[in-house]
């Protein structure tokens, strides 16, 4: 059963902004943040659980433990604003209801004054087209959530990544604050990791490669590099280099995109539901870097009956003669004559 946490340190900030899995992973990226705890706050009864907290009037929230020598409470507030939709009073993103509403829970007058000043600055900045709906509430009790919620993204990466994608969280943040992973210049402190990673990828990849892998775009059929490639070799993720498909499983599907009956390394791909076109499809993404690769359909030939319809821009072809030189020597045996 969850226990009440002791509010003894002045170096704790408490925020509610929808799903606590997502808010936790966002704050963990910041330099100066020591740890982030998911939990329940704002209710009236004792000992809420995941099954009861909403009915008891609690909100999903996080407590951010931080080093004030490296990051300030004001900077945490600015970062918080840029990772929620402050104008949404009915919840956050796909999660609806009062248990998902946004709020800042201050623990003393100092935090209250800083939070009020931060909110007023955002209201006067004209960054938002609607009034701010985020509440400022005096913190009373914070109950840590069950243990399996604390590191959910690490313990269940496929479920977490799928949830985050389909919640519309990042898509909404990009529309609200700009195409910067929810980070806006109003945030004086930013997580450098996503920004640096995006900048590095943009330099490394061609524009179409970036649009496909990072923004889930689709290249033109019959006008891409590998749709009619008939050479022997393997196809690897353009970002991570992990092996994805073999030419031995490639076939002409007539669609104008490179198609395969099965992956070369099933463990290197992740399949997720995709409803972006208002129909249910199965998206295929790379395991290590979460790159968008394409989709898989149940209309392929024997023996699998599947059609892995990929984007050329998401892959790099390594010919049979270059496999050993490029570190994929173990796949040479696939192309050896059978005895």
Query: Could you say which of 19, 22, 82, 187 is catalytic?
Result: 19
If one counts the domains in the chain, the total is 2
Sheet with 315-319, side-by-side order of all strands: 243-246, 233-237, 315-319
Choose the final residue of a domain: 169, 196, 223. 196
Q: Is 19 a catalytic residue?
A: yes
Q: Are residues 237 and 187 in the same domain?
A: no
Q: Are residues 66 and 188 in the same domain?
A: yes
Q: Judge whether residue 277 has pLDDT over 70.
A: no
> How confident is the model over 194-242, as pLDDT tens digits?
544 667 778 889 999 999 998 889 999 999 999 999 999 999 999 989 9
Q: Are residues 183 and 251 in the same domain?
A: no
Query: Could you say which of 22, 82, 187, 309 is catalytic?
Result: 309
Q: Judge whether residue 1 has pLDDT over 70.
A: no
Mean pLDDT of 4-19: 72
More confident residue, 276 or 283: 283
Q: What is the pLDDT of residue 27?
A: 92
Long-range contacts of 273-282 (CB under 8 A, 24+ apart): 273/162, 273/166, 275/166, 276/216
Whole-prediction pTM value? Answer: 0.55
Question: What CA–CA distance (Å, rounded) separates 339 from 337?
Answer: 6
Average pLDDT along the chain: 87
Picking from 9-13, 117-121, 177-181, 260-264, which range would have the lowest pLDDT averaged per residue? 177-181
- Quote the DSSP letter at residue 69: T
Q: What is the pLDDT of residue 7?
A: 37
Structural domain contains residue 304: yes
Confidence of residue 5 (pLDDT cuts 50, 70, 90): very low
Q: Judge whether residue 181 has pLDDT over 70.
A: no
Q: Are residues 38 and 89 in the same domain?
A: yes
Q: Are residues 78 and 189 in the same domain?
A: yes
Contact 59, 134 (CB under 8 A): no
Residue 231, both tokens: 């050479």
What are the distances in angstroms from CA 103 to CA 65, 155, 174, 270, 272? Answer: 17, 27, 21, 34, 31
Residue 300, both tokens: 């392929």
Choose the final residue of a domain: 175, 196, 217. 196
| Domain encompassing residue 148 | 12-196
Contact 213, 205 (CB under 8 A): yes
Question: Which phi and psi angles does 277 have, rounded to 5°?
Answer: -105, 25
Q: Is 82 a catalytic residue?
A: no
């Amino acid at each position: 059963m969850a226990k009440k946490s002791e509010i003894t340190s002045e170096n704790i900030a408490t925020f509610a902004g929808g799903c606590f899995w997502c808010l936790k992973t966002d704050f963990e990226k910041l330099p100066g943040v020591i740890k982030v705890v998911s939990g329940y706050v704002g209710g009236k009864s004792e000992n809420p659980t995941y099954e009861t907290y909403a009915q008891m009037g609690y909100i999903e929230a996080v407590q951010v433990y931080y080093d004030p020598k490296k990051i300030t409470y004001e900077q945490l507030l600015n970062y918080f604003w840029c990772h929620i939709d402050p104008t949404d009073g009915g919840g956050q993103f796909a999660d609806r209801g009062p248990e998902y509403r946004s709020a800042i829970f201050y623990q003393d007058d100092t935090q209250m004054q800083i939070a009020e000043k931060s909110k007023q600055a955002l209201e006067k900045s004209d960054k938002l087209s609607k009034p701010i709906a985020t509440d400022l509430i005096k913190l009373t009790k914070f109950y840590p959530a069950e243990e399996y919620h604390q590191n959910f993204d690490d313990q269940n990466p496929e479920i977490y990544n799928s949830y985050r994608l389909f919640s519309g969280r990042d898509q909404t943040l990009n529309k609200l604050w700009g195409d910067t992973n929810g980070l806006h210049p109003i945030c004086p402190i930013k997580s450098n990791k996503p920004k640096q990673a995006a900048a590095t990828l943009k330099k490394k990849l061609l524009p179409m490669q970036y649009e496909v892998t990072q923004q889930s775009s689709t290249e033109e059929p019959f006008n891409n590099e590998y749709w009619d490639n008939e050479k022997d070799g393997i196809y690897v993720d353009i970002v991570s280099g992990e092996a994805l498909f073999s030419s031995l499983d490639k076939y002409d599907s007539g669609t104008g995109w490179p198609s395969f009956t099965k992956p070369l390394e099933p463990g290197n791909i992740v399949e997720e539901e995709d409803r972006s076109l208002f129909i249910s499809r199965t998206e295929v993404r790379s395991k290590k870097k979460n790159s968008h690769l394409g989709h898989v359909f149940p209309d392929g030939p024997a023996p699998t009956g599947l059609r892995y319809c990929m984007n050329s821009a998401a892959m790099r072809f390594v010919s049979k003669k270059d496999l050993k030189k490029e570190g994929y020597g173990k796949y040479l045996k696939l192309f050896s004559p059978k005895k």
